[in-house]
Amino acid sequence: MRETPSTKLPFFSELPAFFSRLESQNRIRTLDPPSGLDFCSNDYLGLSSHPKLIESLKQGIDLYGAGSGASRLVRGHRTVFEELEVLFSDWVQAEDSLFFANGYAANLGSISCIADPSYILFCDRKNHASLMDGVRLSGGKKVYYKHSDLNDLEQLLQKYSGSKNKMIVTETVFSMDGDKTDLAGLLYLKEKYGALLYLDEAHAIGLFGKDGAGISLEENISEPSNIDFRMSTLGKALGLEGALISTSKDARKYLLHSARTFVFSTAPMPAIAYAGITSVHMVKGMEAERRRLQENSDFFRSSLQSFGKDTGNSSSQIVPILLESEANALELSSKLNSHGFQAKAIRPPTVDISRIRVSLNSKITKEELEKFIQVVREN
Ligand SMILES: Cc1ncc(COP(=O)(O)O)c(C=O)c1O
C-alpha cells in the first residue's frame, strides 16, 4: 500500500471521540479472516497453500528448530540464509543479496543507511510507505516526481545536477494501480545523471521477466547488475515472508553491518529461508501459471472496460476498478462479498481515487472471473 498521510494519534482521553469520527466515516476496520474467493491477496501464484511449500517449511522446522535466537550478527546466522542468498542472486542476476525479515524492514533499513543528509532522493509520487519511511529516516532531501513521469524526473535531475549524491527510488509494478515503471528509461536517466537506482520488485518478483525473476530481467533490460539495489519480497508471489536486497558484494557487506533493521533484529526463522529455497525453485518453473495469470488479467481488464469501467493504467495482475466515490467502493465491495468474492475497497488517503483493488492469482478460473465481472456489471 502506498504511503498514507498518517492520522495523528490523539491523546488517550480523546480516543473515544477519534474512534467515533472514524466510525462515522466508515473507517473502523474489522479484521476479517479470509472468506470467499480470494480477489485481494498478494498470493499471486497460490503458493502459500501449496502442499510442497508447506512440507518444505515443516522440514525446515525439523532441521533448524523454531526461532533463530538472535540477530545474524550475534548467534542467529545459519548457512541456510546464505544458501538462499546465493540462489536468489543467481536467479535475479545480481552479485549478491541480503535476507531481511520482510519487505518493509528491507526497504526501511536499506534506504535509511544507503542515503544520508547529503543525498537527493527522487521518489515516484506513488511509492510504498516502506520506501518513503526509509527515505525520511535517511535524512536526505526527498524530491517527488509525478507518478511514472520520466520527463518530470529528468527535469528534477537537471535541477539538482550539481548534487553529488543522488538516488532514484521506485516500485516496478505499483501496488495500488498495477502499472509498470519504464525501467529502460530509468536506467538511461540514472546513467546520464550519475544517480543510484533503488527498485522495489515486491509485486513483480515471481511474475515478470526471465523465469519470473522480476521486471529487471525483462528482455529489453540488457544489464540487470547495473541496477544498484533491488528489493524482492517472499511475502507475495513466493508464498512466504521475508525479503532480499540484491546488490553488489560490497554493498551487501555494507548493509549487513549498517542496516539497522538487519543488525538490531532477531534473524528470521531459518525454516523460512529453507522454504524460500524451495519456493524459488518452484517459481522458476511456473511459466504456465505466469502466462495464464497475465492472460486472465488481460481478459479481466478488457471485459471491465467493455462496459465502461476505468482500470487506470494497469498492465499486471493488479487491476483497480476506479470508482466515483468512497460510498461506491464500499457498496461494490459488499456486493461482491455477498456473491462470495473477497475484494476490498481502498479509499483516500491511501489512494487518490477510491477503488476496488483487485489482485488476481493463478488459481482463479475463467468461470470465476466471468462471475465476478457479471456482479460488477450488474452493480
Ligand atoms: C511495494 C511494496 N513494497 C514493500 C512491501 C512490504 O513488503 P512485506 O509485505 O514483505 O513487508 C509491500 C507490501 O505491502 C509493497 O506493496
- Probe ligand 1: pick from 126, 128, 177, 359, max atoms within 8 Å of CB? 128
Tens-place pLDDT, residues 264-301: 999 999 999 999 999 999 999 999 999 999 999 999 99
Spatial contact of 110 and 133, defined as CB atoms under 8 Å apart = no
From 243, 267, 284, the end of a domain falls on 284
pLDDT band at 223 (very low <50, low <70, confident <90, very high): confident
- The answer on 234 and 310 residing in a single domain is no
DSSP state of 32: P
Q: Cell digits for 327?
A: 460510498
- The answer on 141 and 218 residing in a single domain is yes
Residue 189 has pLDDT above 90, yes or no: yes
Task: Pick the residue whose CA is nearest to atom 8 on ligand 1.
Answer: 103
What's the gap in Å between 163 CA and the centre of ligand 1?
A: 30
Is residue 16 in a domain?
no
| Mean pLDDT confidence for 130-149 | 98
Q: How many separate domains does the chain show?
A: 2
Percent of the chain with pLDDT over 70: 98
pLDDT at residue 347, rounded to an integer: 93
pLDDT at residue 161, rounded to an integer: 95
| Inter-axis angle of helices 103-114 and 129-138, nearest 10 | 30
- The answer on 298 and 203 residing in a single domain is no
Type of residue at 16: P
CB of 128 shorter than 6 A to ligand 1: yes
- The answer on 277 and 259 residing in a single domain is yes
DSSP state of 2: B
pLDDT at residue 7, rounded to an integer: 63
Q: Within a 10 A sphere around the Cβ of 102, how many other Cβ atoms?
A: 17
Residue 244 is part of which domain span? 51-284
According to the per-residue pLDDT averaged within each range, which of 3-7, 17-21, 142-146 is highest? 142-146
Residue 6 has pLDDT above 70, yes or no: no
CB of 235 shorter than 6 A to ligand 1: yes
CB of 178 shorter than 6 A to ligand 1: no
Is residue 14 in a domain?
no
- The answer on 260 and 193 residing in a single domain is yes
| Mean pLDDT confidence for 190-199 | 97
- The answer on 325 and 275 residing in a single domain is no
Report d(CA 160, CA 292) in Å as an integer.
44
Tens-place pLDDT, residues 78-109: 999 999 999 999 999 999 999 999 999 999 99
Q: Please state whether beta strands 141-145 and 119-124 pair in parallel, antiparallel, or not at all (unpaired).
A: parallel
**Average pLDDT for the chain:** 95
Q: Whose grid coordinates read 476498478?
A: 321
Residue 72 has pLDDT above 90, yes or no: yes
Residue 5 has pLDDT above 70, yes or no: no
CB of 2 shorter than 6 A to ligand 1: no
Q: What are the percentages of helix, strand and coil residues in the chain, rounded to 5?
A: 45, 15, 40
Is residue 7 in a domain?
no
- The answer on 370 and 261 residing in a single domain is no
From 235, 265, 284, the end of a domain falls on 284
Using omega within 30 degrees of 0 as the cis cutoff, is the peptide bond preceding 349 cis? yes
Q: Enumerate the H helices of the chain as residue ranges.
A: 15-24, 51-64, 79-92, 103-114, 129-138, 150-159, 183-193, 249-258, 260-263, 270-284, 287-306, 326-338, 366-378
Report d(CA 143, CA 110) in Å as an integer.
18
Tens-place pLDDT, residues 317-357: 999 999 999 999 999 999 999 999 999 999 998 999 999 99
CB of 294 shorter than 6 A to ligand 1: no
Q: Which residues contact 111 (CB under 8 A, 6 or more apart)?
A: 121, 131, 134, 135, 137, 138, 167, 169, 198
CB of 97 shorter than 6 A to ligand 1: no
DSSP state of 128: B
| Mean pLDDT confidence for 207-218 | 97
CB of 233 shorter than 6 A to ligand 1: yes
Is residue 28 in a domain?
no
| Mean pLDDT confidence for 152-172 | 97
Task: Pick the residue whose CA is nearest to atom 7 on ligand 1.
Answer: 103
Report d(CA 109, CA 125) in Å as an integer.
21
